[in-house]
Amino acid sequence: MALTGLDIFKQLPKTNCGDCGVPTCLAFAMKLAQGQAELASCPHVSEEAKAALSSAAAPPMRGVTVGTGEHAFTVGEETVMFRHDKTFVNAAAIGVAVDASATDAEIDAHADAAAASVFERVQQEMRCGFVAVRGSGDPARFRAVAERVAARSGLPLVLMSTDATEMGSALEAVGASRPLIHAATEATFDTFVALAQQHGCPLAVRAEGAGAVAGLAERAAAAGVKDIVLDSAPGTAGAALRDHVLVRRSALVKKYAPLGYPSITFPGELAGGDAMLETVYAAADIAKYGSIIVLSGVEPWRMLPLLVLRQNIFTDPQRPMQAESKIYEFGSPGPDSPLFVTTNFSLTYFIVASELEASKMPGYLGVVDAEGLSVLTAWAAGKFVPERIAKFVNASGISERISHHEVIIPGAVAQISGELTEEMPGWSVTVGPYEAADLPAFMKARAS
């Protein structure tokens, strides 16, 4: 945030009413300055102050939304160069390009593959984000393909053409779905800006080098286009990396507004048709500031590792990945099946769950909300303690599904067994294995 806490305090009503959830206006201003509160929390701030503070609080990189509905995505709004400084905000969108000149069967296959490119990892859905349609020089064909792909995939579109007539024809059909228009160049600038304004769509500007693309972006913004995406048209992978870093640093560190927009990248254009090399370049784009990444294919072997990389990079380092706190079932458990408990740290949950599945024996696993901490860490922090475990078990309804009253705790916290017994009258507490890898043998020994 550009303003200090004292600068913000001067704009606040200074009533110290506490309606924002903070005792004083000065404390609230300090939280705003640190990004720990939102201005909307203050119900008494004036409209003039709201306008001034909202402008000051705007991120140095504008957020751009492509598409509408459930699959619309937003890129940009980044505030830091490195995720460990705070966090990255909006994950890069990864999609696939199709050529309007391809056959209907080929186009359908690409659209279907994009729609089906959905994976789940640590209880998060990861998917192909969009389909980019490249023009063929035939306005009627471009329009028909854009309509066909939009209807078949259900995903946002990136429309790619250098012909204003071709672009205009497609926008008449799909403009309401807010596709990204790619791209306004020096030669097509005026007509593409007019199309973006007419249809209310985001606009990519393309010029060789960060300096040239900044000039086009500045002109587009002056013409009234707000949602802009940058394409610096790099000729090599090295140039792409250079441009992405320069754009991000100029926007976030230098506060250079003409480069304060997300970027679109085409790693396939730099890989010379080598799909493996394209995937490597795409990985570099994800790590170093590409916002919209257009691939030539969405085969699982390339999409899954890229999506996992994106998930890891765009996970908030200040918030551990967490599994949903609830009762999980393994192997069609019945009333006599054992009940285990553990924490909701994703890594802990998936290790324990995989071992329970490997045992091929039925059981229940209660995942206690420990704020994403592992078993020992949560215990030390007071997050995986008898009071919390008892409260979770009692509220879960598991007692109505099992005929016994036994709960099995991790061996790493064997010391809480006595206190847990006191917290859960009528229940017995069993200490399970210290290591999750020993769960299958533990369960088989109990069953014998």
How far apart, in whole angstroms, are the C-alpha atoms of residue 289 and residue 32?
A: 26
* Other Cβ atoms closer than 10 A to 445: 9
CB of 410 closer than 8 Å to CB of 375 = yes
Q: Per the omega criterion (within 30 degrees of 0), is the bond before 183 cis?
A: yes
All structural domains of the chain with their residue ranges = 5-57, 64-313, 327-447
Over residues 209-224, the pLDDT tens digits come to: 999 999 999 999 999 9
Q: Does domain 5-57 have CATH number 1.10.15.40?
A: yes
Q: How many CB atoms lie within 10 A of CB 325?
A: 16
For the domain spanning 64-313, the CATH number is 3.20.20.20
Q: What is the pLDDT of residue 186?
A: 95
Amino acid residing at 72: A
- Per-residue pLDDT tens digits for 291-323: 999 999 999 999 999 999 999 899 877 777 888
Task: Please classify residue 69 by burial: count the beta carbons closer than 10 Å to its beta carbon, then call 0-12 exposed, 13-18 middle and 19+ buried.
Answer: exposed
Q: Which residues of the chain have pLDDT under 70?
A: 1-3, 34-36, 54-58
Q: What is the model's pLDDT at position 35?
A: 58
As a whole-number percent, the residues of the chain with pLDDT over 70 amount to 97
Q: In 3-state terms, what secondary structure has residue 4?
A: coil
Q: What is the pLDDT at residue 55?
A: 59
Q: Considering the domain delimited by 327-447, tell me its CATH architecture.
A: 3-Layer(aba) Sandwich (3.40)
Q: What is the pLDDT of residue 1?
A: 44
